[in-house]
A and B are shown apart, each in its own frame.
Chain A
Amino acid sequence: DVKVTQSSRYLVKRTGEKVFLECVQDMDHENMFWYRQDPGLGLRLIYFSYDVKMKEKGDIPEGYSVSREKKERFSLILESASTNQTSMYLCASHTGGSGANVLTFGAGSRLTVL
């Protein structure tokens, strides 16, 4: 089974701190994604990456950046955390290529910014 591992399940940070959320997948997937999940708003795409060192903005990139130095690792960075970034963050990966493929999600990282 494909595994997508998010290193931190729960984090508590202070306003203005720099926050790193790490995601690692073990199936050599090309594509990786960061979503944010909020009640009543569903899953909203922050950033995604189709290859190492490549990134594209999703629907809500403001206040976030990403890094993909290795194929298996995709990091979400909050340069200066704010209280409105308190949320559940979900990482997902996708194999890419032809055919109908699905997203495999990590268990999520719940971030609280005080």
Chain B
Amino acid sequence: QQPVQSPQAVILREGEDAVINCSSSKALYSVHWYRQKHGEAPVFLMILLKGGEQKGHEKISASFNEKKQQSSLYLTASQLSYSGTYFCGTEVGSGNTGKLIFGQGTTLQVKP
């Protein structure tokens, strides 16, 4: 039931790009992306709604393919501050319950 994230881990140099994928076996109402830095709470980055509406973060973008039940998070020109673990959270059904099922996480490390 958990969505599957890939890759599990990424190591980048500053300025490089990365893509994190999230795939679900269920029809989705929305996909949320969160980032968690070591020792801290997960923090909201981006939400993608069924129907194409997108809200989120200035330097990070995402896509949502409803038919394939997949979402991808794009981090361009990565900065050291991008390091952390990224989680996608999927919401099924009619939506807006706040009940998210999260993937296993993708650890991103950005090196100078």
A interface residues with partner B (beta carbon < 8 Å): 4, 31, 33, 35, 40-45, 48, 50, 58-59, 90, 94-108
Please name the residue on chain B nearest to A30 by beta carbon: B98
* A33-B98 contact, Cβ under 8 Å, with A100-B49, A102-B44, A102-B47: yes
CA A44 to CA B99, docked complex, whole Å: 11
4 pairs of A and B residues whose beta carbons are closest in the complex: A94-B98, A42-B104, A43-B102, A105-B41
CA A39 to CA B105, docked complex, whole Å: 9
Determine how close the nearest CB of chain A comes to the CB of B57; give it in whole angstroms.
12
* Interchain pairs with CB closer than 8 A, number: 70
* Additional pairs, 6, CB under 8 Å, beyond known A42-B105, A105-B41: A33-B99, A45-B102, A48-B98, A100-B30, A102-B32, A103-B42
CA A96 to CA B104, docked complex, whole Å: 25
CA A93 to CA B17, docked complex, whole Å: 32
Q: Give the chain A neighbours of B55 by CB distance below 8 A.
A: 100
Q: Give the chain B neighbours of A40 by CB distance below 8 A.
A: 104
- Interface bin, chain B: 20 to 34
Q: Which of B34, B87, B98, B105 contacts A31 (CB 8 A)?
A: B98
* B101 interfacial contact with A, CB 8 Å: yes
A31 near B97 (CB under 8 angstroms)? Answer: yes
* A98-B103 contact, Cβ under 8 Å, with A103-B89, A106-B41, A108-B41: no
CA A56 to CA B96, docked complex, whole Å: 16
Q: Give the chain A neighbours of B42 by CB distance below 8 A.
A: 43, 90, 103, 105
Determine how close the nearest CB of chain A comes to the CB of B109; give it in whole angstroms.
15
CA A114 to CA B45, docked complex, whole Å: 36
A103 near B40 (CB under 8 angstroms)? Answer: no
CA A108 to CA B98, docked complex, whole Å: 19
Q: Which residue among A42, A48, A99 has the maximum number of chain B CB atoms within 10 Å of its CB?
A: A42
B98 near A59 (CB under 8 angstroms)? Answer: no
